[in-house]
Each structure stands twice: as structure tokens, then as C-alpha cells.
Chains A and B, each alone.
Chain A
Amino acid sequence: MLVYLLRRLAQSVFVLIAMMIVVFFGVYMIGNPVDILISPDATPAEIEETMARFGFDQPVYIQFLKFVGNALQGDLGRSFVHGEPAVQLILSYMPATLELAALGLLFSVAIGVPLGVYAGYKADRWQGRAIMTGSIFGFSLPNFWVGMLFILIFAVQLQWLPSTGRGDTVEVLGMRLSIFSSNGLQYMILPALTLALYKASLVTRLARAGTQEALTQDYVKFARAKGVSESRILFVHVLKNIMIPIITVLGLELGSMIAFAVVTETVFAWPGMGKLLIDSITTLDRPVIVAYLMLTVIIFIVINFTVDVIYTLLDPRVRVKGEAA
């Protein structure tokens, strides 16, 4: 058991190091940030001085060793553009992304589950087919286009909701969040809906399949025989049983939800991590790009590692195989 975990840990560290090399050199290849950041009026001497201040005058392997040295002490560098530690900068953008993802998740369940259950119930009727056809749009329409369309319809034409930006925020546990203020919530609806569309289609399909299967089960037949109303059967008995796979899948999809937010955040000028990443790429803010990617990698490594550990605890076969290998 211990040997297996140690080996698994060593693998994670290896992945981390490999990613560090790929990310650092990948970002290094793009170009010289000073070319973008410095005022065009700057004299050649000032350009050189700025290069030296940021350490770009050093050979690339020295820069890399310095970066690794600092990273080992938990320091992923300072943003060139903002002059703040990159990690701190990313963390300050994080609550906005997380609350958007959370609301998106809520929307995808709120839209997907009733539609899916209904589609499963009326699987052979036109209603069910219409819902299934509709869900194809949710899968296939590009995110940014849906966002623009929502802006056009709900903000420009109908003027029901604000088009872009972030509204009022309330301070909760030291984080500023929009989700608890009614004005802030209005600003979240369109981006959260955009974000939710793909997931809602996924949930619809899962819920439909689950419902169809559940309707053939004995407990449904028994409930019907007992005279329980159809709606109670669907939304109490069936729903309870189909939620387990849906929750499992959504939990797994939360990571990609946060990653997908990059596009949605850009369209809606939502000040989350995704927008920070895009802005940092255009200004070649290397420390922020590297820190963002490193953080993502670490999160994925931690998730995978935890999952593996749980598997070994649950399933002795994994453990045995690991030791045998």
C-alpha cells in the first residue's frame, strides 16, 4: 500500500516537473514581454535596463533555474503588468470564476433535470423528441456565439438584463461576491446561462436515459399499482434514483466548467481567472501565464492523486496490482 502510494507520488512529481519545463519554455518561446510592455518612446538604454530588471538579459537556462528555485519556495513570480505576486493576482480573480461556475452548475441542473425527466417520460412522443433535438444545439453551438446571441436578445433588444461586466458585490468571508446581491445576480444570469448550456444538454441526456430505465423498474410499477400519482412517481421516486449518476458526472465536469469559463468571461467582460489569463497572454505577462497553468496542473494532479488513493482504499485489486508491478 505505502509503496504504491509513494510510487504514485513520485509519478505526480515527475508530471509536475515535466509540465514546469513545457510551460516555462512554451511561454518563453512566444516573445519578449518588454517589447510589448515598454513605452515606444523609451530609449534603447532604458529597454536594456528594463530587460535587466526582469532578468531577461540572462540566458534562458539561468532564468529557468531561478524560476524553479523560486517555485520550490512557493513563489511563482510577480506579474510584469501589475507588479503583484502572480499567485495572489490569480487568487484575487478566483472568486468571480467560482461563483459563475457555481451558478452555471445550478442552472444546468435546473434546466437539464426537468427537461430530461420529461423527455424520458414522453420518450416516444414528439415532446421527448423535440427536447432531444434541442439538446443537440446545446452541445454543438459554440460558446462565444451563444454568449453574443444572448447579449443581442436579452440586453440589446429586450433590455431585460445588463450586457457585460460585473454588478454590485457583497463581501463574504473576505471574498467579494455578486451572487448575494440582486444587482450583482442580474449581471451573472447571461454569462451563467451561456456557461450552463452545454452542461444542461448533458444533464438532459443523462436524466432522460435514467428516467427511461427507471420507468421499467419494479418500484415504479409497484408505486403505480398502489395508486401514487404520476407526477409524484416522476419527481420523487424516479428523480431520487437518477440523481446519483448526474451528480457524479457534474462533479467531474466542474473542472472543465471553470476552464470553459475563459471564453464566456471574455465575451461578458466577467472579471474572472479566464479573462485574466487571456489578458495576460496578450500582454505576455509570463509569470501570470505560467502560474495559472501551474496551478491548473497542480489542481488536476491533486484530484487524480486523491481519486487513486480512494480507489485503492475501496478496491483491494488496485493495491495488489500496484504492488505486484
Chain B
Amino acid sequence: MSRPVFRGLAAALLASAIPALPLAAQELRIGLASEPSSADPHFHNLGPNNQLRRNIFESLVGTDEAQQLTPLLAESWEPASDTSWRFNLRQGVTFSDGSPFDAYDVVYTVCRIPGVPDSPSLFTTYTGGITGMEVVDPHTLIVHSADPYPLMPTEFSTFGIISARANGVDTSSLEFSTEGCGDDLPVPATQAFNDGTAAVGTGPFLLESFRRGEGIELVRNPDYWGEAAPWERVTMLPLTSDGPRVAALIAGDVNFIENPPLQDLDRLRADSDLRVVQGISNRVIYIHLDHAQVPSPMITGTDGANPLQDIRVREALTIAVNRDAIVERIMGGVAVSAGELLPPGMFGAHEDGDLPPRAYDAERAQALLAEAGYPDGFGITIGTPNDRYINDAQVAQAVAQMWSRIGIETEIDASTASTFFSRRNAFEFSAYLAGWGAGTGEMSSPLRALLATRNSDLGLGGTNRGQYSNPEMDAVLIEALRTVDDDAREALLRQASRMAMDDYAIIPLHYEVTPWAMRASIDYVPRADQYTLPYMIRPAQ
């Protein structure tokens, strides 16, 4: 006990005795928990890639720590009509090769996105709804869509802008059309971003090298239009194993790491040379139930009936879970009990306390089961990944014990993420544990993906592998997705969320809290989107 105290004192004495170093000259070394697959901003729509992208290629719209929209390359935006948005672009911004940034670069970027070869996950998710782009003047852009598209500014925050001129495009002849922008449009290859030749962006850092498996080096962009980044040089090392990543931090080989493992948090906190920050994320951990299959594949003892179609059974399963116990004992406090699919404070979520987590009540759960005709319960298996979310299999195990306590014999079927997701998508489970991070920071994201009736044409229910269907909620959600007015849309999203929760459509367990660990000399504001952004990492005050 005395050592940390002594060290704390020593550190305090040192800090007061030595004048602050010229921090601007310092180097930041980060241990990444997962490695980006490419430096091409449009190659793979994946967290680690998007996190790297934000340092080099900026988007029109930015997002802050709570995923609220902020001006970035666009200074402002407003609806131009029912089906179009006007973006007023920032003046005086240049790309790192010296070419000026204007509306043509945005058009060029949207033109490139659908055609990225070999992409495992295209950004067309966010650009597919665009039906026209009109350059009013070099710094005013109007973007059209077929239907009202309230999420357009949000989705313009997801992809980075690349330079048309740096890639040899004659901007005067650049025309956007949904059919593409001409076959002879010169576009850089993915490889050209990885070797740095095409890595021309407007961001606070320049890409110096991208070496797969070895690390990524960024240097400060001397001509950045905004506030200069606090670091001259940033090295990001892929340290994907938990133990070695923590060791690298303690040993001083890196001074910042993502996702320190839960079991090491206490030790890291006790070390006065280190700092741990944590914040609630946009990711909810939930259990989805099979609403559609009769008989359901992993339910026994019901003579073929699917008890999950009975709302009383769903309610019983929901209130049989003691969320606070899971948060406290399994998640070590690094989680927050959930009452819906997005934490309070985010767009479309209820205010704190308006839709609280369902209270634990095992007796009532048993009564409900008896009422539904299952006084002796039934058997069920929960599918879960065991390497995807924080303590995922242990959480499923805890839920299984809680369900068993009310008479439902529950087993778990845990497998590695790659196997789990394939089996889940083949509807092999009657109940499964998974997580959802709202990329847009809006309630529309989880509702649209997890609970809307599956419909390929409308792009709804893509991850609704419980096949829940509630036409009334669908109607409210679709209305929200067409409502441009923010206040009206938020009210509709809250209504849709409450309808789903009242129907016990899904069992929210908790919101994950994301930790970061670093030397005590630096500081970071936790982000709901779980991104590690070097330009937001600051020397401690």
C-alpha cells in the first residue's frame, strides 16, 4: 500500500519541480487492440479503419464525444427542401498536397465509394440514398434524395473526403449521377493509400507509413486549418493480445492503450504513473429471442410450441435477470444496466429514469410463467460468442443461472465470434446474446437493425435474427426515418422504443463502458463511439 502512495508523492514533487516539457515536440505511442485492414478510407467500413481514417481524411460533418454532430469540413447544413440538404463548406481548407478543398471533392468522393474493388464492406450504406449532387458554387453543395432523409448529415460523418485534383480529375467536367460518374474517372487504388502516395487528406495528421502488423506512423499536418494536433508524431502499434498490450504500457513502450482488460483495471488504477478513463459507449448487450420459428430450434419440453411468442414468458425472462448483479459482479462496474437499446443522453433515448431497466423480480417471473401455462418451465439454450464482447460468455452464463432459478432449464452454447455469427444468421438459436453499437448515435440505428420487421427492400431488420415483427412499431419507426425535424423525430423514436420495450421484444442487459489506459501525463475524454483519436489525446493539465 505504501509504495503507490510514495510514488504518488514523488510524482507530485517532480511535477512541481520540473517545468513542463515542450509537449509539442513529443511523440505519442498507442497500443491498438485491433488493427485496421487498410489505410484506404473507403475500403472497409469497420471501426479500426474508420478510427484511423478520421486522423487523415476528414468528413463533411464531425461528431463529438457523445456522437452529437459538429461542423467539420461543412460549417453548417440545413434542409433545402423536403428531399434535399444544403451543405455550406468551409473556406480556405487545403489538402496535404496543397490542392484546395471544395464541393467537387465531395462529389468525387461519393463517386468513388461504390467502385472500391475487393471491398469487404462498402460505404454505399451511407451514400446509396443519394440521387443527385448539385454544386451551387465551390463552397455550397446541395444533395438530393428520393425520400426525406433526416440522417443524411449524420451519414456524411461516416466517410472521409479525398481530393479530386490530387487524383488528376478535371473538376469542371465532374458530373454526379446515380449511374456513376463516367467510366474514365481516375480513382486511386487501395494499394496507393497503403503505400502513402494517395493518402492526401485535410486532417490533422499525415500518413507517414502504414505497415501491416508492424504499425502505423502519423506526423502532424503543418498546414492543418484547425487547431494543431498536440503531437508531432504518432505511432500506432497493433498489440492485439490483452496481456502484452498492458505490459507494453507498464513497461513504457507505449504511453496509451485501448481496451485494457477488465481484470487489470484495478492494478492500472492503483499505479499513480498511470491513468484509466472510461465512459459509457453506444453499445448495448442484449438477448434476442426467437419470435418466429415453431418449434424453435433450441427449446425443449413444450411439445413443439414456441413459448417465446407469449408476452408473459418474455416478460418473465426479462424480469428474471438481475442486471445490477451482472454489472457489479461480472462486469466489475464497467457497464451500466440497460432499460432500452441506447443509453440516456443519446438521440432518441429516454431521459435518465424515464425508461429504467426492468427491476429484478423472480417471484413475479415464476407467477407469469405459471399463468402462461409453463408452471414447470421448459428448456432453452442461449447462444453466445465468447470472444467478441466484454465477458460475453460469462454474462450469458449468469443469465442462464438466473433463468434456471425461475424453473427454465437454461444452458449456454458459446463459440468463437466467427462461428457464432454464422450460426446466428442461419437462425440456429432460440435465444442469443449479442451487442449493438449505434454507429449513427441515434435510436433509429438499433431499432432499424434489430427490431424492425425484416424487409430487404426497405433495408430494415438486417440483424433482426429473432424475427420480431410489430407492424405498429414499424409504422412509427418508418415515420421517424422520414421526419427531418429533429424534435419530432426524437419524439417518434422514443415512442417506437417504448412500444418495443413494452412488448418485451428484446431483453436489454447493459451498456458497455469503454476504458482506456495511459501514462498519467496524458489525458483522453472517453467517447461513446469507442474510437481512439490521437488528435483528441492531450497532455494532462
Verify if A138 is at the interface (C-beta below 8 Å from B).
no
Contact of A40 among B44, B241, B437 (CB under 8 A): B437
The complex places the Cα of A266 from the Cα of B244 at a distance, in Å, of 9
The residue that B237 contacts in the complex, of A48, A81, A165, with Cβ under 8 A, is: A165
Using an 8 Å CB-CB cutoff, how does the interface string of A153-193 with B read, 1 for contact, 0 for none?
00110010011111000000000000000000000000000
Q: Smallest CB–CB gap between B186 and chain A, Å?
A: 19
Contact A39 B37 (CB under 8 A): no
**What residues on B are CB-neighbors of A96 within 8 Å?**
213
Known interface pairs A35-B425, A40-B463, A42-B125; A156-B247 also in contact (CB < 8 Å): yes
Contact string against A for B residues 509-526, beta-carbon threshold 8 Å, 1 for contact and 0 otherwise: 000000000000000000
- The proximity string for B residues 401-421 relative to A, scoring 1 for CB distances below 8 Å and 0 otherwise, is 000000000000000111101
- Cβ-defined contact, A163 with B244, below 8 A: yes
Give every chain A residue within 8 A of B46 (Cβ-Cβ): 37, 39
Expressed in whole angstroms, the minimum distance between the Cβ of B115 and any Cβ of chain A is: 12
Q: A41, A50, A166, A269: which contacts B244 (Cβ < 8 A)?
A: A269
Pick the residue among B215, B239, B422 that contacts A32 (CB under 8 A): B422
Binds B, one of A4-12, A125-133, A277-285: A277-285
Minimum CB–CB distance for A46 against chain B, Å:
6
A40 CA to B425 CA, complexed, in Å: 12
Contact B239 A164 (CB under 8 A): yes
Assuming the contacts A83-B43, A276-B213, asked whether A38 and B248 have C-beta atoms less than 8 A apart, the reply is: no
Q: Which of A54, A151, A283 contacts B418 (CB 8 A)?
A: A283
Partner of A31, one of B121, B122, B190, B419: B419
Query: What A residues does B419 contact at CB under 8 A?
Result: 30-31
In the bound complex, do residue A41 and residue B237 qualify as a contact, i.e. CB atoms below 8 Å apart? no
Residue from B45, B245, B422 in contact with A41 in the complex, judged by beta carbons closer than 8 Å: B45
CB closest chain-A residue, reference B243: A148
Using Cβ atoms and an 8 Å threshold, which residues of chain A touch B118?
78, 80, 83
Q: Would A46 and B43 be within 8 Å (CB), given that A82-B37, A165-B237, A271-B212 are in contact?
A: no
- Residue A93 at the chain B interface, CB threshold 8 Å: yes
Closest CB in chain B relative to A160 CB, distance in Å: 10
A279 touches B35 (CB 8 A): yes
Shortest distance between the CB of B322 and any CB in chain A (Å): 28
Which stretch in B89-97, B250-258, B303-311 binds the other chain?
A: B250-258
Q: Quick one: which of B119, B248, B422, B459 contacts A43, CB cutoff 8 A? A: B459
User: Roughly how many angstroms separate A43 CA and B155 CA in the complex, as a whole number?
Assistant: 14
Decide if B241 touches A36 in the complex (CB within 8 Å). Answer: no
Residue of B nearest to A35 (CB): B421
Cβ of B449 < 8 Å from any Cβ of A?
Answer: yes
Whether a CB of chain B sits under 8 angstroms from the CB of A68 is no
Which of A45, A50, A159, A282 contacts B121, CB < 8 Å? A50
B439 & A40 in contact (Cβ 8 Å cutoff): yes
A319 interface contact, C-beta 8 A: no
- The reply to whether A81 and B44 form a contact with Cβ atoms under 8 Å apart is yes
- Distance A152 CA – B248 CA, assembled complex (angstroms): 10
Cβ-based interface call for B456 (8 A): yes
Report if B436 contacts A (CB, 8 A). yes
Residue among B121, B247, B445 making CB contact with A37, cutoff 8 Å: B121
Whether the pair A35, B422 counts as a contact (CB closer than 8 A) is yes
List of B residues within 8 angstroms of A272 by Cβ: 213
- Given A43-B456, A43-B459, decide whether A269 and B237 contact each other with a Cβ distance below 8 A: yes
Are B214 and A152 in contact (CB-based, < 8 A)? no
Residue of A34, A43, A92, A162 near B125 (CB, 8 A) is: A43
Query: A residues within 8 A CB of B437?
Result: 40
List, in ascending order, chain B residues with CB within 8 A of A45's CB.
456-457, 459
B 203-241 to A, binary, CB cutoff 8 A, 1 in contact else 0? 000000001111100000000000000000000011111
**Contact of B314 with A by CB under 8 A:** no
Q: Answer whether residue B353 sits at the interface, using C-beta atoms and an 8 A cutoff.
A: no
Interface assignment of B358: CB less than 8 Å from any CB of chain A: no
CB of A50 within 8 A of CB of B120, answer: yes
A83 to B38, CA, bound (A): 9
Tell me if A47 counts as interface (CB < 8 A to partner B): yes
A-B contact pairs, 15 of them (CB 8 A): A31-B419, A39-B45, A40-B463, A41-B125, A42-B121, A45-B459, A81-B37, A83-B119, A92-B212, A151-B243, A162-B253, A164-B247, A267-B243, A269-B238, A269-B239
Give B contacts to A, CB under 8 Å. 35, 37-38, 43-46, 117-122, 124-126, 128, 190-191, 211-215, 237-241, 243-245, 247-248, 250-253, 387, 416-419, 421-423, 425, 436-437, 439-440, 445, 449, 454, 456-457, 459, 461-463
Beyond A32-B425, A46-B122, A148-B247, 13 extra complex contacts between A and B, CB < 8 Å: A31-B418, A32-B421, A37-B121, A39-B439, A45-B456, A46-B125, A50-B120, A92-B212, A148-B243, A156-B251, A163-B244, A164-B248, A271-B212
